Chains A and B, each alone.
Chain A
Amino acid sequence: MLSKILRTAALILVAAPSGLNATAARLTPEQMRNASFLDTVSIPTPGEFFLAVDKQCQPNWSKLLRPSVPASTSDREHIALHLGILVADGFMAIEAQDGQSVKNTARDILLLAKKLNVSQQIVARIQSISDFSDAGNWNRLREELDAMQNDIRLCLMEQKDSPLVVLAMAGAWVRQLDMASNLLATNDISASTALLVQPEIASHILTRVENLPENSKKRPIVKQLSEGLHTTAALMSQSTYSLTPSAVKSIASIMSAITAAAADVDFKK
Protein backbone atom coordinates (compact mmCIF):
# COMPACT_ATOMS: atom_id res chain seq x y z
CA MET A 1 0.00 0.00 0.00
CA LEU A 2 2.78 2.40 0.98
CA SER A 3 4.68 1.75 -2.23
CA LYS A 4 1.55 2.48 -4.22
CA ILE A 5 1.08 5.77 -2.41
CA LEU A 6 4.68 6.77 -2.99
CA ARG A 7 4.46 5.80 -6.61
CA THR A 8 1.39 7.91 -7.12
CA ALA A 9 2.97 10.81 -5.25
CA ALA A 10 6.02 10.63 -7.47
CA LEU A 11 3.91 10.51 -10.59
CA ILE A 12 2.05 13.61 -9.51
CA LEU A 13 5.07 15.58 -8.44
CA VAL A 14 7.01 15.06 -11.65
CA ALA A 15 4.12 16.09 -13.84
CA ALA A 16 4.29 19.54 -15.32
CA PRO A 17 1.54 21.84 -14.03
CA SER A 18 1.00 23.57 -17.33
CA GLY A 19 2.25 23.77 -20.86
CA LEU A 20 0.44 20.66 -21.96
CA ASN A 21 -1.54 22.76 -24.39
CA ALA A 22 1.47 22.92 -26.64
CA THR A 23 1.14 19.21 -27.40
CA ALA A 24 -2.64 19.15 -27.82
CA ALA A 25 -3.43 18.85 -31.49
CA ARG A 26 -6.21 20.86 -33.08
CA LEU A 27 -9.48 18.99 -33.37
CA THR A 28 -10.52 17.93 -36.83
CA PRO A 29 -13.87 19.07 -38.26
CA GLU A 30 -15.02 15.47 -38.09
CA GLN A 31 -14.15 15.22 -34.40
CA MET A 32 -16.08 18.41 -33.68
CA ARG A 33 -19.04 17.21 -35.73
CA ASN A 34 -19.13 13.95 -33.78
CA ALA A 35 -18.73 15.52 -30.33
CA SER A 36 -21.30 14.40 -27.79
CA PHE A 37 -24.07 16.75 -26.78
CA LEU A 38 -25.44 16.05 -23.32
CA ASP A 39 -28.50 17.98 -22.13
CA THR A 40 -27.32 18.28 -18.55
CA VAL A 41 -23.80 19.43 -19.41
CA SER A 42 -23.87 20.96 -22.89
CA ILE A 43 -26.80 23.28 -22.21
CA PRO A 44 -25.75 25.99 -19.75
CA THR A 45 -27.92 26.57 -16.72
CA PRO A 46 -29.74 29.89 -16.36
CA GLY A 47 -27.42 30.59 -13.43
CA GLU A 48 -24.23 30.65 -15.46
CA PHE A 49 -25.89 32.47 -18.35
CA PHE A 50 -27.24 35.24 -16.10
CA LEU A 51 -23.87 35.48 -14.36
CA ALA A 52 -22.30 36.29 -17.73
CA VAL A 53 -25.12 38.72 -18.56
CA ASP A 54 -24.53 40.44 -15.24
CA LYS A 55 -20.81 40.82 -15.92
CA GLN A 56 -21.28 42.12 -19.46
CA CYS A 57 -24.42 44.24 -19.19
CA GLN A 58 -24.89 45.08 -15.48
CA PRO A 59 -28.69 45.13 -15.79
CA ASN A 60 -30.99 46.35 -13.08
CA TRP A 61 -32.22 42.88 -12.19
CA SER A 62 -34.93 44.11 -9.84
CA LYS A 63 -36.65 45.88 -12.72
CA LEU A 64 -36.51 42.74 -14.85
CA LEU A 65 -38.36 40.57 -12.35
CA ARG A 66 -41.94 39.71 -13.24
CA PRO A 67 -44.83 39.43 -10.83
CA SER A 68 -45.76 35.89 -10.01
CA VAL A 69 -48.31 34.44 -12.43
CA PRO A 70 -50.59 31.69 -11.12
CA ALA A 71 -50.98 28.80 -13.51
CA SER A 72 -54.45 27.34 -13.79
CA THR A 73 -54.02 25.17 -16.85
CA SER A 74 -54.18 21.41 -16.47
CA ASP A 75 -52.28 20.76 -19.67
CA ARG A 76 -49.11 18.91 -18.60
CA GLU A 77 -47.02 20.02 -21.58
CA HIS A 78 -47.97 23.60 -20.89
CA ILE A 79 -47.18 23.23 -17.20
CA ALA A 80 -43.76 21.73 -17.95
CA LEU A 81 -42.82 24.62 -20.22
CA HIS A 82 -44.03 27.11 -17.63
CA LEU A 83 -42.09 25.30 -14.91
CA GLY A 84 -38.87 25.69 -16.90
CA ILE A 85 -39.59 29.39 -17.33
CA LEU A 86 -40.12 29.77 -13.58
CA VAL A 87 -36.79 28.11 -12.87
CA ALA A 88 -35.11 30.78 -15.00
CA ASP A 89 -37.16 33.43 -13.16
CA GLY A 90 -35.77 32.05 -9.92
CA PHE A 91 -32.21 32.53 -11.17
CA MET A 92 -33.07 36.10 -12.16
CA ALA A 93 -34.37 36.76 -8.65
CA ILE A 94 -31.07 35.46 -7.31
CA GLU A 95 -29.19 37.91 -9.54
CA ALA A 96 -31.46 40.64 -8.18
CA GLN A 97 -30.58 39.38 -4.68
CA ASP A 98 -34.28 39.46 -3.89
CA GLY A 99 -34.81 36.66 -1.40
CA GLN A 100 -38.58 37.13 -1.22
CA SER A 101 -38.91 36.81 -5.02
CA VAL A 102 -36.77 33.67 -4.95
CA LYS A 103 -39.08 32.19 -2.31
CA ASN A 104 -42.21 33.21 -4.24
CA THR A 105 -40.86 31.64 -7.41
CA ALA A 106 -39.91 28.46 -5.54
CA ARG A 107 -43.47 28.29 -4.17
CA ASP A 108 -44.88 28.64 -7.72
CA ILE A 109 -42.51 25.93 -8.95
CA LEU A 110 -43.75 23.65 -6.19
CA LEU A 111 -47.36 24.26 -7.23
CA LEU A 112 -46.56 23.30 -10.81
CA ALA A 113 -44.49 20.33 -9.66
CA LYS A 114 -47.51 19.07 -7.75
CA LYS A 115 -49.52 19.08 -10.95
CA LEU A 116 -46.81 16.96 -12.56
CA ASN A 117 -46.61 14.59 -9.54
CA VAL A 118 -43.00 15.45 -8.79
CA SER A 119 -43.46 17.76 -5.80
CA GLN A 120 -42.54 15.22 -3.10
CA GLN A 121 -39.01 14.99 -4.41
CA ILE A 122 -38.35 18.73 -4.23
CA VAL A 123 -39.95 19.66 -0.92
CA ALA A 124 -36.59 19.51 0.87
CA ARG A 125 -35.02 21.67 -1.82
CA ILE A 126 -37.78 24.26 -1.42
CA GLN A 127 -37.03 24.45 2.29
CA SER A 128 -33.30 24.86 1.60
CA ILE A 129 -34.06 27.57 -0.94
CA SER A 130 -36.15 29.37 1.63
CA ASP A 131 -33.36 29.12 4.22
CA PHE A 132 -30.65 30.29 1.82
CA SER A 133 -32.90 33.13 0.64
CA ASP A 134 -33.32 34.34 4.20
CA ALA A 135 -29.57 34.11 4.71
CA GLY A 136 -28.78 35.84 1.42
CA ASN A 137 -26.47 32.99 0.42
CA TRP A 138 -26.73 33.56 -3.32
CA ASN A 139 -24.09 31.11 -4.46
CA ARG A 140 -25.68 28.25 -2.54
CA LEU A 141 -29.08 29.35 -3.86
CA ARG A 142 -27.84 29.00 -7.43
CA GLU A 143 -26.63 25.49 -6.70
CA GLU A 144 -29.83 24.57 -4.90
CA LEU A 145 -32.06 25.85 -7.70
CA ASP A 146 -29.85 24.10 -10.22
CA ALA A 147 -30.15 20.88 -8.20
CA MET A 148 -33.92 21.26 -7.92
CA GLN A 149 -34.19 21.61 -11.68
CA ASN A 150 -32.22 18.40 -12.01
CA ASP A 151 -34.34 16.62 -9.39
CA ILE A 152 -37.46 17.51 -11.35
CA ARG A 153 -35.84 16.23 -14.53
CA LEU A 154 -34.86 12.94 -12.88
CA CYS A 155 -38.34 12.47 -11.39
CA LEU A 156 -40.04 13.15 -14.71
CA MET A 157 -37.75 10.65 -16.39
CA GLU A 158 -38.49 8.07 -13.71
CA GLN A 159 -42.21 8.40 -14.33
CA LYS A 160 -41.67 8.10 -18.10
CA ASP A 161 -42.53 11.72 -18.78
CA SER A 162 -39.61 12.43 -21.08
CA PRO A 163 -41.64 14.86 -23.27
CA LEU A 164 -42.11 17.02 -20.19
CA VAL A 165 -38.35 16.93 -19.52
CA VAL A 166 -37.77 18.39 -22.98
CA LEU A 167 -40.36 21.12 -22.47
CA ALA A 168 -39.06 22.11 -19.03
CA MET A 169 -35.56 22.34 -20.49
CA ALA A 170 -36.88 24.41 -23.40
CA GLY A 171 -38.79 26.71 -21.03
CA ALA A 172 -35.68 27.59 -19.02
CA TRP A 173 -33.70 28.32 -22.18
CA VAL A 174 -36.51 30.38 -23.73
CA ARG A 175 -36.77 32.55 -20.63
CA GLN A 176 -32.98 33.13 -20.61
CA LEU A 177 -33.11 34.33 -24.18
CA ASP A 178 -36.28 36.31 -23.56
CA MET A 179 -34.61 38.27 -20.78
CA ALA A 180 -31.24 38.75 -22.50
CA SER A 181 -32.55 39.59 -25.97
CA ASN A 182 -35.00 42.17 -24.60
CA LEU A 183 -32.21 43.67 -22.54
CA LEU A 184 -29.94 43.89 -25.57
CA ALA A 185 -32.73 45.13 -27.85
CA THR A 186 -33.59 48.03 -25.57
CA ASN A 187 -30.03 48.98 -24.67
CA ASP A 188 -27.08 49.68 -26.90
CA ILE A 189 -24.95 46.72 -25.84
CA SER A 190 -24.18 45.32 -29.28
CA ALA A 191 -20.86 43.89 -28.09
CA SER A 192 -22.76 41.45 -25.90
CA THR A 193 -25.00 39.97 -28.59
CA ALA A 194 -22.57 37.04 -28.79
CA LEU A 195 -24.33 35.81 -25.66
CA LEU A 196 -27.33 35.09 -27.84
CA VAL A 197 -25.45 33.19 -30.54
CA GLN A 198 -26.32 29.63 -29.55
CA PRO A 199 -27.44 28.00 -32.81
CA GLU A 200 -26.42 24.47 -31.81
CA ILE A 201 -28.48 24.65 -28.63
CA ALA A 202 -31.46 26.07 -30.53
CA SER A 203 -31.17 23.28 -33.11
CA HIS A 204 -30.74 20.63 -30.44
CA ILE A 205 -33.83 21.73 -28.50
CA LEU A 206 -35.77 22.08 -31.77
CA THR A 207 -34.88 18.51 -32.71
CA ARG A 208 -35.97 17.29 -29.29
CA VAL A 209 -39.27 19.16 -29.62
CA GLU A 210 -39.85 17.85 -33.14
CA ASN A 211 -39.29 14.32 -31.86
CA LEU A 212 -41.95 14.62 -29.18
CA PRO A 213 -44.96 12.29 -29.46
CA GLU A 214 -47.67 13.55 -31.80
CA ASN A 215 -50.01 13.98 -28.87
CA SER A 216 -47.61 16.51 -27.34
CA LYS A 217 -46.73 18.23 -30.61
CA LYS A 218 -50.35 19.04 -31.38
CA ARG A 219 -50.61 21.36 -28.36
CA PRO A 220 -50.73 25.00 -29.48
CA ILE A 221 -48.00 25.99 -27.03
CA VAL A 222 -45.70 23.29 -28.37
CA LYS A 223 -46.45 24.32 -31.96
CA GLN A 224 -45.60 27.91 -31.10
CA LEU A 225 -42.41 26.78 -29.39
CA SER A 226 -41.38 24.68 -32.36
CA GLU A 227 -41.96 27.50 -34.84
CA GLY A 228 -40.15 29.96 -32.61
CA LEU A 229 -37.15 27.70 -32.20
CA HIS A 230 -36.99 27.15 -35.94
CA THR A 231 -36.83 30.87 -36.65
CA THR A 232 -34.44 31.50 -33.76
CA ALA A 233 -32.02 28.79 -34.89
CA ALA A 234 -31.92 30.38 -38.35
CA LEU A 235 -31.32 33.87 -36.91
CA MET A 236 -28.53 32.59 -34.66
CA SER A 237 -26.80 30.84 -37.52
CA GLN A 238 -26.24 34.10 -39.38
CA SER A 239 -23.02 34.91 -37.54
CA THR A 240 -20.49 33.30 -35.23
CA TYR A 241 -19.78 36.36 -33.10
CA SER A 242 -22.72 38.72 -32.95
CA LEU A 243 -26.24 39.41 -34.13
CA THR A 244 -27.68 42.37 -35.99
CA PRO A 245 -30.07 44.65 -34.08
CA SER A 246 -32.98 43.36 -36.15
CA ALA A 247 -32.07 39.75 -35.36
CA VAL A 248 -31.91 40.57 -31.64
CA LYS A 249 -35.33 42.23 -31.84
CA SER A 250 -36.79 39.26 -33.69
CA ILE A 251 -35.47 36.83 -31.08
CA ALA A 252 -36.80 39.08 -28.31
CA SER A 253 -40.21 39.14 -29.94
CA ILE A 254 -40.33 35.36 -30.42
CA MET A 255 -39.14 34.52 -26.93
CA SER A 256 -41.42 37.05 -25.26
CA ALA A 257 -44.39 35.63 -27.14
CA ILE A 258 -43.61 32.08 -26.03
CA THR A 259 -43.02 33.20 -22.43
CA ALA A 260 -46.30 35.12 -22.40
CA ALA A 261 -48.21 32.22 -23.93
CA ALA A 262 -46.79 29.83 -21.34
CA ALA A 263 -48.06 32.09 -18.57
CA ASP A 264 -51.48 32.54 -20.19
CA VAL A 265 -54.01 31.33 -17.65
CA ASP A 266 -56.77 31.39 -20.27
CA PHE A 267 -54.94 28.89 -22.42
CA LYS A 268 -57.35 26.69 -24.37
CA LYS A 269 -56.41 23.29 -25.64
Chain B
Amino acid sequence: MKQWALLFVLSLVAMAHAQEEKSYPANSSPLAWNSHDKSPLSLALELAAGNEGEGYQVHDGFWSGTLAKSEPMLLEVYLFAGNDYRFSAANLDPFSQLRLSIFDTWGYPAGQEYSGASSCATAGISVIRSGRYFIQLLMTEGDKADTCMVYSYK
Protein backbone atom coordinates (compact mmCIF):
# COMPACT_ATOMS: atom_id res chain seq x y z
CA MET B 1 0.00 0.00 0.00
CA LYS B 2 2.93 2.27 0.80
CA GLN B 3 4.16 1.73 -2.74
CA TRP B 4 0.84 2.95 -4.09
CA ALA B 5 0.76 6.01 -1.92
CA LEU B 6 4.27 6.83 -3.08
CA LEU B 7 3.41 6.29 -6.73
CA PHE B 8 0.42 8.58 -6.30
CA VAL B 9 2.45 11.35 -4.70
CA LEU B 10 5.17 11.07 -7.30
CA SER B 11 2.65 11.26 -10.10
CA LEU B 12 1.45 14.54 -8.66
CA VAL B 13 5.03 15.74 -8.44
CA ALA B 14 5.62 14.70 -12.04
CA MET B 15 2.53 16.61 -13.08
CA ALA B 16 3.69 19.70 -11.24
CA HIS B 17 7.07 19.41 -12.90
CA ALA B 18 5.42 19.08 -16.28
CA GLN B 19 3.77 22.47 -15.76
CA GLU B 20 7.13 24.14 -15.40
CA GLU B 21 9.87 24.77 -17.84
CA LYS B 22 11.84 21.64 -18.45
CA SER B 23 15.51 21.82 -17.70
CA TYR B 24 17.89 18.91 -17.32
CA PRO B 25 21.12 20.08 -15.71
CA ALA B 26 23.96 17.63 -15.87
CA ASN B 27 24.19 15.59 -12.70
CA SER B 28 27.64 15.46 -11.22
CA SER B 29 26.64 12.37 -9.31
CA PRO B 30 23.79 9.96 -9.87
CA LEU B 31 23.02 10.09 -6.18
CA ALA B 32 22.54 13.83 -6.16
CA TRP B 33 18.80 13.21 -5.95
CA ASN B 34 18.14 16.01 -3.51
CA SER B 35 19.33 18.62 -5.96
CA HIS B 36 16.66 20.89 -7.37
CA ASP B 37 16.69 19.59 -10.89
CA LYS B 38 13.44 18.35 -12.35
CA SER B 39 14.53 15.33 -14.25
CA PRO B 40 13.37 11.75 -14.66
CA LEU B 41 16.45 10.80 -12.62
CA SER B 42 15.43 12.93 -9.65
CA LEU B 43 11.93 11.45 -9.78
CA ALA B 44 13.24 7.89 -10.02
CA LEU B 45 15.54 8.55 -7.08
CA GLU B 46 12.68 10.03 -5.06
CA LEU B 47 10.72 6.89 -5.77
CA ALA B 48 13.69 4.72 -4.73
CA ALA B 49 14.21 6.82 -1.60
CA GLY B 50 10.76 5.69 -0.49
CA ASN B 51 12.24 2.24 0.08
CA GLU B 52 14.88 3.48 2.50
CA GLY B 53 12.54 3.03 5.44
CA GLU B 54 12.54 -0.68 4.70
CA GLY B 55 16.33 -0.80 4.76
CA TYR B 56 17.00 -0.50 1.04
CA GLN B 57 19.96 1.47 -0.20
CA VAL B 58 20.28 2.98 -3.63
CA HIS B 59 22.80 1.59 -6.09
CA ASP B 60 24.75 4.50 -7.56
CA GLY B 61 24.06 3.93 -11.22
CA PHE B 62 21.12 4.42 -13.50
CA TRP B 63 19.71 3.82 -16.94
CA SER B 64 18.32 6.80 -18.78
CA GLY B 65 17.04 7.24 -22.27
CA THR B 66 14.10 8.12 -24.43
CA LEU B 67 11.38 5.54 -24.23
CA ALA B 68 8.72 5.27 -26.93
CA LYS B 69 5.40 3.50 -26.68
CA SER B 70 5.62 -0.24 -27.21
CA GLU B 71 9.38 -0.10 -27.72
CA PRO B 72 10.66 -1.70 -24.52
CA MET B 73 14.15 -1.32 -23.10
CA LEU B 74 15.69 -4.54 -21.85
CA LEU B 75 18.65 -4.39 -19.49
CA GLU B 76 20.80 -7.21 -18.16
CA VAL B 77 21.61 -7.22 -14.43
CA TYR B 78 23.24 -9.58 -11.95
CA LEU B 79 21.30 -10.28 -8.79
CA PHE B 80 22.44 -12.34 -5.83
CA ALA B 81 20.57 -14.87 -3.73
CA GLY B 82 19.66 -13.55 -0.31
CA ASN B 83 19.38 -9.95 -1.47
CA ASP B 84 16.15 -8.06 -2.10
CA TYR B 85 16.05 -5.63 -5.01
CA ARG B 86 13.65 -2.89 -6.07
CA PHE B 87 13.77 -1.18 -9.43
CA SER B 88 12.23 2.27 -9.81
CA ALA B 89 11.51 4.16 -13.03
CA ALA B 90 9.92 7.50 -13.81
CA ASN B 91 9.46 10.13 -16.48
CA LEU B 92 8.02 13.64 -16.59
CA ASP B 93 5.00 12.91 -18.76
CA PRO B 94 2.18 12.43 -16.23
CA PHE B 95 -0.10 10.84 -18.80
CA SER B 96 2.33 8.19 -19.89
CA GLN B 97 2.14 4.75 -18.36
CA LEU B 98 5.28 2.84 -17.47
CA ARG B 99 5.63 -0.81 -16.69
CA LEU B 100 8.69 -2.45 -15.11
CA SER B 101 9.09 -6.21 -15.30
CA ILE B 102 11.75 -8.60 -14.08
CA PHE B 103 12.72 -11.78 -15.93
CA ASP B 104 14.96 -14.59 -14.76
CA THR B 105 17.93 -16.23 -16.47
CA TRP B 106 15.64 -18.18 -18.80
CA GLY B 107 13.44 -15.23 -19.65
CA TYR B 108 10.50 -16.15 -17.43
CA PRO B 109 8.71 -13.38 -15.50
CA ALA B 110 9.96 -13.13 -11.93
CA GLY B 111 9.36 -10.95 -8.88
CA GLN B 112 6.54 -8.54 -8.30
CA GLU B 113 5.43 -5.52 -10.27
CA TYR B 114 3.93 -2.45 -8.70
CA SER B 115 3.52 -0.77 -12.05
CA GLY B 116 0.12 0.82 -12.45
CA ALA B 117 -1.36 3.35 -14.82
CA SER B 118 1.24 5.91 -13.96
CA SER B 119 4.41 7.60 -15.17
CA CYS B 120 6.19 5.98 -12.21
CA ALA B 121 6.72 2.26 -11.88
CA THR B 122 8.51 -0.11 -9.56
CA ALA B 123 9.25 -3.82 -9.49
CA GLY B 124 10.89 -5.90 -6.82
CA ILE B 125 12.35 -9.33 -6.27
CA SER B 126 13.70 -11.39 -3.39
CA VAL B 127 16.36 -13.39 -5.16
CA ILE B 128 16.51 -17.11 -4.48
CA ARG B 129 18.98 -18.02 -7.20
CA SER B 130 22.01 -15.86 -8.00
CA GLY B 131 22.55 -15.06 -11.63
CA ARG B 132 21.65 -13.03 -14.64
CA TYR B 133 18.27 -11.33 -14.72
CA PHE B 134 16.60 -8.97 -17.17
CA ILE B 135 14.76 -5.75 -16.43
CA GLN B 136 12.21 -4.61 -18.99
CA LEU B 137 10.96 -1.06 -19.04
CA LEU B 138 7.94 -0.52 -21.24
CA MET B 139 5.83 2.52 -21.99
CA THR B 140 2.31 1.21 -22.48
CA GLU B 141 0.69 4.62 -22.96
CA GLY B 142 2.06 7.99 -24.02
CA ASP B 143 4.39 9.47 -26.55
CA LYS B 144 8.18 9.47 -26.39
CA ALA B 145 9.53 10.58 -23.03
CA ASP B 146 12.90 10.80 -21.34
CA THR B 147 12.82 8.09 -18.72
CA CYS B 148 15.16 6.98 -15.99
CA MET B 149 15.52 3.81 -13.93
CA VAL B 150 17.49 3.17 -10.75
CA TYR B 151 17.58 0.30 -8.31
CA SER B 152 17.91 -0.31 -4.59
CA TYR B 153 18.98 -3.36 -2.64
CA LYS B 154 19.06 -4.73 0.87
User: Are A27 and B15 within 8 A (Cβ)?
Assistant: no
Q: Main SS of the interface on chain A?
A: helix
Mask of B1-36 contacts with A, CB within 8 angstroms, 1/0: 001100110011001000100000000111100000
Mask of B21-63 contacts with A, CB within 8 angstroms, 1/0: 0000000111100000000000000000000000101111111
User: Are A147 and B80 within 8 A (Cβ)?
Assistant: no
Mask of A130-152 contacts with B, CB within 8 angstroms, 1/0: 00000000010011001101110
Interface check A240, CB cutoff 8 A:
yes
Interface check A40, CB cutoff 8 A:
yes
How many positions in chain B have a CB within 8 Å of any CB in the partner chain? 61
User: Are A26 and B109 within 8 A (Cβ)?
Assistant: yes
Q: Which of B15, B61, B103 contacts A41 (CB 8 A)?
A: B61
How many A-B residue pairs have C-beta atoms within 8 angstroms? Tell me.
178
Instruction: Report chain A residues within 8 Å CB of B70.
Output: none
In chain A between 135 and 189, which residues have their CB closer than 8 angstroms to a CB of chain B?
139, 142-143, 146-147, 149-151, 154
Distance between Cα atoms of A34 and B136 in the complex (Å)? 12
User: Are B105 and A240 within 8 A (Cβ)?
Assistant: yes
Instruction: Report chain A residues within 8 Å CB of B151.
Output: 41
User: Are B80 and A195 within 8 A (Cβ)?
Assistant: yes
Distance between Cα atoms of A213 and B88 in the complex (Å)? 37
* A36 touching B82 in the complex, CB below 8 Å, given contacts A12-B4, A139-B57, A241-B129: no
Which residue of chain B has the shortest Cβ distance to A28 in the bound complex?
Answer: B107
Interface check B145, CB cutoff 8 A:
no
User: Which residues of B are interface residues toward A (Cβ below 8 A)?
Assistant: 3-4, 7-8, 11-12, 15, 19, 28-31, 55, 57-63, 73-83, 94-95, 97, 99, 101, 103, 105-118, 129-132, 134, 136, 149, 151, 153-154
Q: Could you jot down 26 A-B contacts, CB within 8 Å?
A: A8-B8, A8-B118, A9-B11, A11-B116, A14-B117, A15-B118, A17-B4, A18-B113, A20-B99, A20-B101, A21-B113, A32-B103, A32-B107, A38-B61, A40-B30, A40-B60, A41-B59, A41-B61, A42-B75, A48-B80, A51-B80, A51-B154, A146-B60, A195-B130, A197-B130, A200-B132
Closest 9 CB pairs of A and B: A15-B116, A40-B61, A27-B107, A52-B80, A55-B82, A11-B117, A24-B109, A146-B60, A35-B74
